[in-house]
Amino acid sequence: MAVMAVGPVTDVVAAARLAQAAKTFKTLVKGTGQARLLSEFFKTGTLPPGLTTEALKAYLVLAKAYVAAGQGGLGGGGVEGSAVQTQRIQQIEQYLGQQ
């Protein structure tokens, strides 16, 4: 009977997904001003002109990966950062659901 180490394996998978999501997001927004527009969106709750659906979706994947990996990511570390990412996930999903 084989015994699986679910915790470490899950951590490795979550870390790999996080790394891929971060790479994809950075590639998408680098030099485009989308990161600044996303920041504005999170602060105001309204979609600034020029912010693309692709940037929102890429950030959504990234934020979910941060939470799944147990990291706060761009919003800070630990539980507090995860709470920030969860709020951002809800904000993006609410906007995307209205389209």
> What string of pLDDT tens digits covers the 99 residues of the chain?
444 444 566 788 888 999 999 999 999 999 999 999 999 999 999 999 999 999 999 999 999 998 888 876 654 556 678 888 999 999 999 999 987
- CA–CA distance, 56 with 51 (Å, rounded to integer): 8
In a domain, 3, yes or no: no
In a domain, 2, yes or no: no
Residue 70's φ and ψ, nearest 5 degrees, are: 75, 25
In a domain, 23, yes or no: yes
Number of other residues whose CB lies within 10 A of the CB of residue 1: 2
Number of domains in the chain: 1
pLDDT of residue 8: 63
For residue 46, give its domain range: 9-98
Task: Please tell me the number of Cα atoms within 13 Å of 90 on its side-chain side.
Answer: 6
In a domain, 4, yes or no: no
